[in-house]
Amino acid sequence: MLMFKLSDATETKDEQKKTNEVLLREIADLCKREDRKTPEVILLLGSTGVGKSSMVNTIIKALTGKYFYKAKSGRGREGSVTLTFDWFDHCGIAECDLQSLQQEVIGDCWQQLPNIIDADGMGFQDSQDIQEILEVVLGGFIPPETSITHLQKL
């Protein structure tokens, strides 16, 4: 199980680097498990403005060592009725995004990082369409590399 430690003001940069390296190695070990055939899919659901896209950007920063603004945060509208999905293969990173430490630790397994679906426009709606999409997503019925365009047509 991954344990995350919030750094405090007394933690030095070297201690932070060491903690980050330990976490990256734990992530690499999980990615390399023999019982994992395909990357998991993580669905981020929530009301507009709660930080789903910001979480994707934070995950990308933690895994690459550099901030990449890939998930467009702050674009949801209150009361939106259109459900859209942003799909981030391998947590939204590419091998060229990895910095030196990250390349060393997860460079050979980054393609096994989970895929993230950022559901935008949820608001507070509860419709039959959304329930059906969630059943498909959460039930594991979406094979790897399924396009979001196809999923939205279901």
Burial 90-111 (b: 16+ CB within 10 A, else e): bbbbeeebbeeebbebbeebbe
Q: What is the model's pLDDT at position 30?
A: 94
**C-beta separation of 60 from 126 below 8 A:** no
* pLDDT score, position 150: 63
> Which CA distances in Å does 109 have to 44, 64, 100, 127, 133?
23, 13, 15, 38, 30
Q: Which residues contact 114 (CB under 8 A, 6 or more apart)?
A: 39, 40, 41, 42, 90, 91
Whole-number Å distance between alpha carbons of 135 and 42? 14
Q: What pLDDT is attached to residue 92?
A: 92
What is residue 79's DSSP assignment? T
Return d(Cα 19, Cα 126) in angstroms, integer. 41
* Per-residue tens of pLDDT for the chain, all 154 residues: 555 555 555 678 888 888 889 999 999 999 999 998 888 888 887 777 788 888 999 999 989 988 888 887 765 555 444 456 788 989 999 999 999 989 999 999 999 999 998 877 655 556 676 677 677 766 767 665 555 556 556 5
What's the Cα-to-Cα distance from 5 to each of 19, 46, 67, 117, rounded to whole Å? 8, 25, 20, 25
In whole angstroms, give the CA distance from residue 78 to residue 89. Answer: 27
Q: Which two tokens stand for residue 1?
A: 């199980």
